[in-house]
Amino acid sequence: MKNKVITLIGGGGFVGRYVAQALLRRGARVRIAQRDPRQAYFLRTQSALGQTQFIAADVRRPDTIARAMMGADAVVNLAGTLGGDADAVQAKGAAAVAEAARAAGVEALIHVSAIGADAGGETPYARSKGEGEAAVRQHFPNATILRPSLIFGREDQFANRFARMIEKLPVVPVIAPRTRFQPVYVVDVAAAAVAALEDPERFGGRTFELGGPDVLSMAELIRQIASLLDRKIRTVELGTGTAGLVAALPGTPITRDQLRMLGHDNLVSPGAEGLAELGVTPTPFEAVAPQWLVQFRRYGRFSRHAHTA
Query: Is the pLDDT reported for residue 55 higher than 50?
Result: yes
- CATH 3.40.50.720 domain range(s) in the chain: 5-141
What pLDDT is attached to residue 303?
53
What pLDDT is attached to residue 1?
85
- CATH 3.90.25 domain range(s) in the chain: 159-179+213-266+282-302
Cα dist from 52 to 24, 33, 37, 195, 303, whole Å: 8, 11, 11, 20, 39
Q: What percent of the chain has pLDDT over 70?
A: 91
What does the pLDDT average to over 110-135?
95
Residue 122 or residue 148, greater confidence: 148
Q: What pairs with residue 108 in β-bridges?
A: 74
What pLDDT is attached to residue 119?
94
* CATH 3.60.21 is right for the domain spanning 159-179+213-266+282-302: no
What does the pLDDT average to over 117-137?
94
Are 110 and 197 in contact, with CB atoms under 8 Å apart?
A: yes
**From 19-23, 114-118, 153-157, 175-179, the region with the lowest mean pLDDT:** 175-179
What pLDDT is attached to residue 308?
46
What pLDDT is attached to residue 252?
54
Query: Is the pLDDT reported for residue 290 higher than 50?
Result: yes
**From 15-29, 151-165, 171-185, 238-252, the region with the lowest mean pLDDT:** 238-252
Residue 126's pLDDT band (boundaries 50, 70, 90)?
A: very high
127 φ, ψ (degrees, to nearest 5):
-65, -45
Query: Is the pLDDT reported for residue 251 higher than 60?
Result: no
Are 43 and 17 in contact, with CB atoms under 8 Å apart?
A: yes
Q: What pairs with residue 269 in β-bridges?
A: none
The backbone region for 157, taken as left when phi is positive above 0, alpha when psi lies in -120 to 50, beta otherwise, is alpha
Residue 245's pLDDT band (boundaries 50, 70, 90)?
A: low
What pLDDT is attached to residue 175?
84
> What tens digit of pLDDT does each residue of 172-216 get?
888 888 999 999 999 999 999 999 999 999 999 999 999 999 999
Q: Single out the residue of 134, 75, 130 nearest to residue 103, CA to CA.
A: 75
> What tens digit of pLDDT does each residue of 20-35 get?
999 999 999 999 999 9
What does the pLDDT average to over 261-277?
92
- Please, what is the Cα angle at 150 between 33 and 97, to 5 degrees? 30
Residue 305's pLDDT band (boundaries 50, 70, 90)?
A: low
Q: What percent of the chain has pLDDT over 90?
A: 72
What pLDDT is attached to residue 249?
56
* CATH code of the domain occupying 5-141: 3.40.50.720
